[in-house]
Amino acid sequence: MSFSSDEVNFLVYRYLQESGFSHSAYTFGIESHISQSNINGALVPPAALLSILQKGLQYTEAEISIGEDGTEQRLGESLSLIDAVMPEVVANRQNMQNQQKQATKTEPPETNGTTEEPTAPPPATTTAASTTPAPVETMEVDQSIEIPASKATVLRGHESEVFICAWNPSTDLLASGSGDSTARIWDMSDNPANPNQLVLRHCIQKGGTEVPSNKDVTSLDWNCDGTLLATGSYDGYARIWRTDGLLASTLGQHKGPIFALKWNKRGNYILSAGVDKTTIIWDAATGQCTQQFSFHSAPALDVDWQSNQSFASCSTDQCIHVCKLGVDKPIKSFQGHTNEVNAIKWDPQGQLLASCSDDMTLKIWSMKQDTCVHDLQAHSKEIYTIKWSPTGTGTQNPNMNLILASASFDSTVRLWDVERGVCIHTLTKHTEPVYSVAFSPDGKFLASGSFDKCVHIWSTQSGQLVHSYKGTGGIFEVCWNSRGSKVGASASDGSVFVLDLRKL
């Protein structure tokens, strides 16, 4: 048995990626020269590091519990991972096990000639057990809420984690982006049981030929009429694709991975954010860089358009800048977060900007003032993403209140009344970090996806769980189609699935 430092480094790199530490993974990948190793990442299953650690832990427990004579005595208390790597702890546990074995051997036999029978429960308990079914441990929601597998379409094809997915705004095409260096377009309109898939291979020029980039596709976004798909990759390039899968243009200006990209509403510009600390506005028609903004002092993590020519960006430098095409400095800067800012989103009218951070806070900003309008502190771990509801003044649902949803590594989702600055619902059914939330087009429902493999669908008015589906991998992204009839989700095991809510 042997293993190399390259193999260990690769497993650590993948663990960081799968756990959502994308920026740490990038830095570690650079320093450990992951790209120069000959390991085919597509063949390494998700959670590989955790799997081998678990096996090592089980082996250590077996070493302690199995004696020299081959007999096994169960451990009274399981080892923790830290215990297992501490020789003195392992030695102490072995001594305890040996002493227990000796005590067992020297115990005098029973002298009354009878064997003690387990005490039967009283009749009342037996009756209750027969009328009340025992709760199923894996079922966290009512039977009527659970979406059966027969009502979900699982899409297989990706060979690695699927980090992102997005519905076309005008048709039932679902796009997905993966660590296998491809994006895919799935046609869910004609034959949902066996949908056609287009594979968008992200290649780079090497020695005069095109070769797979072997880099993650980190972001994707459809233009407003659904005719073009933009993708961003760890290979440093943004790309524009047609709906037939053909590459329309390659946008090359960033020096390093792209973390986010967005079309503006008009569809003439694409905005991107990169590890090179810059944001870029691209001319979608020509593929040329229109303007590059270099105001952050660390990697830019997210961007969001305020209008067709102005946008906000956030960074690991804890700052938020609002910039405008043609202006060579930020038109507004917001400071107040005490850790990296993971995501930013303008409300539907472009008046208020929400931001979330590793400092566990959610902040609301206005162009009319320098300090935040609200500093919302309720989550107990990092907040990974936020979404505004498509409701309120200026939306298609003007009679419903505007709501902000936040998803956190504390395994909860919170719904906020931003006008009052209060949390109106805390959604607590998830058991692992929540990576994604998405409102239905009518604003009545919220989908959430977590690394507990579950997609939950909630009523935004009551905060009640309406539907739930458990997939086969940790959920990175959830999204609704434009009619609000289907929810798409992408997962860590390479699967993408679609829940057709019309059937329920």
Phi/psi at 23 (5° precision):
-75, -40
**Which pair of tokens denotes residue 397?**
């649902």
- What confidence tens digit (pLDDT) does each residue in 239-275 have? 999 999 999 999 999 999 999 999 999 999 999 999 9
Are 277 and 294 spatial neighbours (Cβ–Cβ below 8 Å)? yes
- What confidence tens digit (pLDDT) does each residue in 389-400 have? 999 988 999 999
Gap between the Cα atoms of 447 and 24, Å rounded: 28
Residue keyed to tokens 């799968």: 18
**Pick from 101-105, 182-186, 224-228, 390-394: least confident:** 101-105
Task: Tell me whether residue 138 is exposed, middle or buried, using C-beta atoms within 10 angstroms of its C-beta: 0 to 12, 13 to 18, 19 or more.
Answer: exposed
Q: Which residue has the higher pLDDT, 237 or 129?
A: 237
pLDDT at residue 61, as a whole number:
66
Q: Is 463 left (phi over 0), alpha (psi -120 to 50) or beta?
A: left
Contacts 24+ apart (CB under 8 A), 61-68: 63/90, 63/94, 64/90, 64/93, 64/94, 64/97, 65/97, 67/97, 67/98, 67/101
Gap between the Cα atoms of 372 and 336, Å rounded: 8
Q: Which residue has the higher pLDDT, 41 or 147?
A: 147
Angstrom distances, CA of residue 99 to CA of 74, 102, 466: 13, 5, 54
Are 357 and 350 spatial neighbours (Cβ–Cβ below 8 Å)? no
**Which pair of tokens denotes residue 33?**
């020269």
3-class SS at 191?
coil
pLDDT at residue 115, as a whole number:
34
Q: Which residue has the higher pLDDT, 70 or 141?
A: 70
Gap between the Cα atoms of 353 and 355, Å rounded: 7
> The dihedral of CA 481, 483, 484, 485: what is its sign?
negative
Are 6 and 39 spatial neighbours (Cβ–Cβ below 8 Å)? yes
What is the model's pTM? 0.74
3-class SS at 113?
coil
pLDDT at residue 47, as a whole number:
82
Cβ neighbours of 107 (radius 10 Å) = 8
pLDDT at residue 39, as a whole number:
80
Number of residues in the chain: 504
Q: Which residue has the higher pLDDT, 450 or 10?
A: 450
3-class SS at 390?
coil
pLDDT at residue 484, as a whole number:
95
- What confidence tens digit (pLDDT) does each residue in 124-149 have? 333 333 333 333 333 343 446 999 88
**Which pair of tokens denotes residue 481?**
């189609």
pLDDT at residue 124, as a whole number:
37
pLDDT at residue 94, as a whole number:
65
pLDDT at residue 86, as a whole number:
72
Gap between the Cα atoms of 460 and 392, Å rounded: 14
> In terms of DSSP bridges, do strands 258-263 and 247-252 run parallel, antiparallel, or are they unpaired?
unpaired
Q: What is the mean pLDDT of residues 70-87?
A: 67
Asked if the model's pLDDT at residue 402 lies above 90, the reply is: yes
Residue keyed to tokens 């943004």: 238
**Which pair of tokens denotes residue 250?**
């390659």
Q: Is 70 left (phi over 0), alpha (psi -120 to 50) or beta?
A: left
Angstrom distances, CA of residue 144 to CA of 113, 175, 186, 326: 53, 30, 29, 55
**Pick from 69-73, 108-112, 329-333: least confident:** 108-112
pLDDT at residue 375, as a whole number:
97
pLDDT at residue 210, as a whole number:
83
Beta strands in 371-492 (DSSP E): 374-377, 383-388, 403-408, 413-417, 422-427, 434-439, 445-450, 454-459, 465-470, 475-480, 486-491
Asked if the model's pLDDT at residue 332 lies above 50, the reply is: yes
CA 151 to chain CA mean position, Å = 23
User: Which domains are seen in the chain, by residue range?
Assistant: 5-68+79-92 (1.20.960.30), 149-500 (2.130.10.10)
Phi/psi at 316 (5° precision):
-70, -10
pLDDT above 70 covers a percentage of the chain that reads: 83
Q: What is the mean pLDDT of residues 429-456?
A: 97
- What confidence tens digit (pLDDT) does each residue in 194-210 have? 788 999 999 988 888 88
Which residues are CB-contacts of 272 (< 8 A; sequence separation ≥ 6)?
232, 238, 251, 254, 258, 260, 261, 279, 280, 282, 303
Confidence of residue 37 (pLDDT cuts 50, 70, 90): confident
- What confidence tens digit (pLDDT) does each residue in 44-64 have? 878 888 878 877 767 676 667
Residue keyed to tokens 């917001």: 334
Are 169 and 149 spatial neighbours (Cβ–Cβ below 8 Å)? no
Average pLDDT over all residues of the chain = 86
